[in-house]
Amino acid sequence: MGERIVVINPNSSQDVTDGIDAALDGLRLDGGPEIDCLTLAEGPPGIESQRHVDGVVGPLCRLVEAQDNRASAFVIACFSDPGLQSARETTRKPVLGIAEAGIATALTLGERFGIVAILATSLGRQRRFVRAMGLESRFAGGRPVGLSVTALADEDLTLSRMIEVGRALKDEDGADAVIMGCAGMARYRDRLEDALAIPVVDPTQAAVGMAISAVRLGYRTAAQRAMH
């Protein structure tokens, strides 16, 4: 069997998974790993609270276990990185979280990154995450579009709000790179980048890019090496 990267959308919206899947086409290379996007059936329609985040960890880890012998690496495609450390305890394969990988990628694209969030209630969670990464000095700030995950279906409204928020991050907060703070925003990257004229990171793309390297190079943590 060839190499295969399993991307897990931990919410149950197949539409979001489809958007992710389409956005990854550029990273599907002949000779490179297969990239499969799965929807976590047990997840909520959108991950909108810490309780949602914590709630999907159990089924997500079970899905990792179920896929483990057919996977070369895993990507958790929700910007809260639910279960990232738990999944790393579950499999010997590399596990990438899209928040962690998206932020790491932004470090190479600009001096200070901003985050286009969906909900205002996510901002505290994201700031804690950035601080846990040790990167607050590179963080220009986060701003919410103020729409629910499901409402992202209204493309025109969503895009115009994302552009508005992205411009505020750039012009008022001093961001010179922007991360889209939700896997469900994948389809907007090109248009948002054109509007802002600074790099826009789709964190799922960033994580899958790093997963390809991880698969090809064989990184494994000490804990993963020590597994039976």
Q: In whole angstroms, what is the distance from residue 28 CA to residue 22 CA?
A: 10
Which CB, 11 or 105, lies closer to a second copy? 105
**Segment 145 to 174, residues that bind a second copy, using CB under 8 A:** none
Q: Is 81 a binder of a second copy (CB under 8 A)?
A: no
Which CB, 153 or 204, lies closer to a second copy? 204
Q: Is 50 a binder of a second copy (CB under 8 A)?
A: yes
**Least Å distance between CB 156 and a second copy?**
23
DSSP character string of 60-100: HHHHHHHHGGG-SEEEE-STT-TTHHHHHHH-SS-EEEHHH
Which of 32, 44, 92, 164 is in the footprint of a second copy by CB under 8 A?
32
Which span (37-45, 69-77, 80-88, 152-160) binds a second copy, by CB under 8 A? 80-88
Which CB, 31 or 156, lies closer to a second copy? 31
Q: In whole angstroms, what is the distance from residue 72 CA to residue 92 CA?
A: 9
Q: Which two tokens stand for residue 168?
A: 């505020």
Q: Is 223 a binder of a second copy (CB under 8 A)?
A: yes
Which span (34-42, 145-153, 156-164, 200-208) binds a second copy, by CB under 8 A? 200-208
Name the H helices within the chain: 14-23, 50-55, 57-67, 84-90, 98-106, 123-132, 155-171, 189-196, 203-217, 222-225
Q: Is 90 a binder of a second copy (CB under 8 A)?
A: yes
Which of 66, 132, 157, 227 is in the footprint of a second copy by CB under 8 A?
132
* Cβ 81 vs Cβ 61: under 8 Å: no
* Cross-strand pairs, 116: 143, 180
Q: Which two tokens stand for residue 53?
A: 């985040």
Which span (4-12, 148-156, 159-167, 196-204) binds a second copy, by CB under 8 A? 196-204
